Amino acid sequence: MSEPLPVLIAINFVSEPLPVPIATDLIPQTSRSVQTRQGIVAAKERGVEWGRAGKDLAVRNRDQSIIFAEGLRTLIVKLMKQSFEKPTWVARRLNQLQVPTPNGGCWHSASVSRLIKRLGPSLKTEILAAKNAKAPAPIVTTHPK
């Protein structure tokens, strides 16, 4: 015969929280969120334009990205003229040429797409003109007899 299984009895101990002395004079009368809301209202009443720094940074970042894109315009035209038409191909070639991004990282297809968009429709016109331009006549190094 097998031995009977032991019976487990669960006991639930409910304990009362221990009394902790609280220094009520150290607790501020208003919560931090209420103070923050009051500070925002007071600043708006003084005429402070809320979010102005972010708007200024956005304008500065956009201007810097356009300047950077214009600096790469001739290289992008040359690459796209040489059948590097897709952003993935351009990104791969820029990484091979070790051309740094504005932050010094590597190129991705999305970053090339944004670069092409910043350069605008005039880029496509330049690429078409470069593809349709006549190649210069080859330089002859031997003299005809």
Q: pLDDT tens digits for 107-144? A: 999 999 999 999 988 888 888 888 887 666 565 555 55
Q: Which domain holds residue 125?
A: 52-131
- 88 belongs to a structural domain: yes
Cβ atoms 37, 89 nearer than 8 A? no
- Does this model's pTM top 0.85? My answer is no
Looking at the domain assignment, is residue 16 inside a domain? no
Q: Which residues of 7-26 are buried (b: 16+ CB within 10 A; e: fewer)?
A: eeeeeeeeeeeeeeeeeeee
Instruction: Please name the helix (run of DSSP H) or strand (run of DSSP E) that holds residue 132, with its range, or none.
Output: helix 121-132
Q: Is 38 part of a structural domain of the chain?
A: no
Quote the number of domains for the chain: 1
Q: Report pLDDT digits (tens) over 53-77.
A: 888 899 999 999 999 999 999 999 8
In whole angstroms, how far apart are CA 11 and each of 8, 17, 27, 95, 97?
A: 10, 19, 39, 67, 72
Rounded CA gap, 18 and 22, in Å? 12
- Within-domain flag for 119: yes
